Amino acid sequence: MASLQHVLERIRAKQARVGIIGLGYVGLPLAVEFARQGFDVTGFDVDQSKTAQINAGKSYIPDVAAAHLAEVVKAGRLRATIEMSELGAMDVIDICVPTPLRKTKDPDLSYVVLAVEAVAATLRPGQLIILESTTYPGTTDEVVQPMLEAKGLQADVDFFLAFSPERVDPGNQQFNTKNIPKIVGGVGAASTEAACALYSTTVDRVVAVSSTRVAEMVKLLENTFRAVNIGLVNEIALMCHKMDIGVWEVIDAAKTKPFGFMPFYPGPGLGGHCIPIDPFYLSWKARQNGFECRFIELAGHINASMPHYVVQRVSDALNSVRKSINGSRVHLFGVAYKRDVNDMRESPALDVLELLGKAGAELSYSDPFVPELRHHGHVLSSTDAARVVERPPDCGVICTDHSVFDYDAIVKSGVLVVDTRNALKGRQGPTIFRL
């Protein structure tokens, strides 16, 4: 039986060796934060180019300052490796790998399974294992725990196991790893205490819940809440267009109410590593328990239809000058899933590009954060937006409202613009088409 007290003492004294599996948008910021707090941290990833960049003190994640990364690498508190055999030397192992969807919209836990297999191969008494990857309620105790216990060690007795959902918001300048409250749920009281002790050394506030399933559900509720409300406001946008009402003005007026209303905004579709995916994890698990999530499925249907609506608005814009999409030069301003980040995961711009391409448009784009784009046979390089407005295309689509774009110059160029983000707020004219 492992001594919980021994584990707590090593964590509180920052003598525990911390391993992070998965060095992406979640894992790398977490690894750097632990290292900055004085822990000896090892990052694990199957991508050797990532581990090489980290060991050279180079950050490939915008939210991780190169200076902070270089500082902890130089101090010897952070190193990265592809050698999973070194996991046995870790006191704490934090799993931060992707959890995508299959084409059938079912959860794909293959990355989690591979990570847990690597942990299980070197598991020893006293280790604290934490899963941060977003997943359906029951993953930790139904999938992870049996795999780790297969060789005879018992969770919450010989080793400690918990779930703590990541809450990363790429590009958010206000909230980061340190000041976003951390939800923690263990498979037992000892596991919860150990995981809370770990995060308390690094995060400003830790919130313990009664089980791993509650912690898993918290994450899905947070992102399903956003997905459903975005679906609602997207439907309102479609409705307002039919009724010739400006949806952006409606939202701005509604949000003056100091209670009972929270503003959400329409757009070209859902993007990112969580919002388009997590509700399907929840609805899949619900179906396994005989419950149909009609509300969630409907919101997903509406959100998935928005790229088609954007293409319809492009058609409307071109029709206003007696042109068709087929043969027209259509330029996208921004292709990342949100402003001022380089994250392309599930970006609705990819769907817009694909639909425009199928309709016969000649495609180009500008995005200073995404120098090259490969998707469904398209290989495009970003064009400087300033050059684009000098020789305007037939139609421009603002898919991502990056702050670096000169929106006044875009409007003054006279190009037809379909604005999906209200980036041209306050500007009027016959060349501007909004959702």
| Residue type present at position 148 | L
User: What is the distance between the alpha carbons of residues 396 and 181, in angstroms, rounded to a whole number?
Assistant: 40
DSSP-derived 3-state class of residue 17: strand
Q: What is the DSSP letter of 105?
A: S
| Catalytic, out of 274, 293, 395, 399 | 274
Angle at 8 between CA 134 and CA 152, to 5 degrees: 65
- Both tokens of 286, joined, read 């619900």
Helix%, strand%, coil% for the chain, nearest 5: 40, 15, 45
- Both tokens of 402, joined, read 């990056």
Q: What is the DSSP letter of 284?
A: H
Q: Which residues contact 252 (CB under 8 A, 6 or more apart)?
A: none
From 214, 167, 249, select the one nearest 425 (Cα to Cα): 249
User: What is the distance between the alpha carbons of residues 291 and 283, in angstroms, rounded to a whole number?
Assistant: 8
Q: Which residue has tokens 């400087």? A: 384
Q: Which residue has tokens 């525990």? A: 16
Catalytic residue status for 293: no
Beta strands in 25-88 (DSSP E): 40-44, 78-81
From 138, 96, 105, select the one nearest 277 (Cα to Cα): 105
| CA terminus-to-terminus distance, the chain | 61
User: What is the distance between the alpha carbons of residues 190 and 129, in angstroms, rounded to a whole number?
Assistant: 12
Q: Are strands 182-186 and 160-163 parallel, antiparallel or unpaired?
A: antiparallel
User: What is the distance between the alpha carbons of residues 39 and 42, in angstroms, rounded to a whole number?
Assistant: 10
Catalytic residues, which ones?
A: 274
